[in-house]
A = this chain, B = another copy of it.
Amino acid sequence: MVKGSVRKARKEARPAEIVEAAFQEFAAKGFLGARVEDIAARLGVTKGTVYLYFPSKEVLFAAVLDTFGAQMRRETDDHVAELHGDVAERLEQLIVHLNVSSASDQRLRSLLVLSIAERERFPEVIERQFRATVDHAAELCLSLLQEGAAAGVFHAHVASRNTALTLVSPCLWLVLSGVMHPNEPSDVDGFVAQQLRLLRDGLFREPSAPSL
């Protein structure tokens, strides 16, 4: 009983371990730059072992994206399910959450990097991946904007995809900033506070300024 279960547990855990290690290597070096041998070395095994579980580097890469893409989407959805309060409060919570995740989640950074860098080599996987993260976030935003507009809380014209994308865009900056300067943590709190303030007050001291 116990005898078999040790190996079995190992075997069942391996694919996830490999995907995790591969994620790190791919994120750091890109698809071509990552060596299967180095992925294996992260687990303390040799490259042959990787091929026991994945038939090729390509398939492994796709598994990495699918695994973490699904994971990110699930986590976002879980968070959305917990939003509470009126529509303005919920939108604020969503924006804060997206900003905080973008700034702090290493996986998100890596996914974006890989999606951009390898889009030509794995178009379908990455398309799926991209829809599951950036597009998905925009859609969540859009729902709340529509709800708020319908309730008369927001201006009617903000119930648009363009607004949703505008609200989500600062997260791209956070992700990008994390990618380019991983050692200079962003001031997320200040950043998101400023975003919310802009949304509330706009740029101008005089409300409904004529120009711009």
Contact = CB atoms under 8 A, between A and B. Distances in A.
Interface of A: 28-30, 32-33, 86, 88-89, 91-92, 112-113, 115-121, 126-127, 130, 134, 148, 152-155, 157-158, 160, 162-163, 165-166, 168-173, 176, 179-180, 187, 190-191, 193-205, 207-209, 211-212
7 contacts: A28-B120, A148-B203, A160-B190, A169-B173, A172-B176, A198-B198, A201-B202
Q: Give how many copies assemble into the complex.
A: 4
Contacts of A193: 162
Given A32-B33, A172-B172, A209-B88, A115 B180 contact: yes
A162 B187 contact: yes
Given A116-B116, A127-B180, A201-B202, 20 more contacts: A29-B120, A32-B33, A92-B212, A112-B116, A113-B117, A117-B117, A130-B180, A154-B203, A154-B205, A155-B201, A162-B195, A166-B191, A166-B194, A166-B195, A169-B169, A172-B172, A172-B173, A200-B209, A202-B202, A207-B208
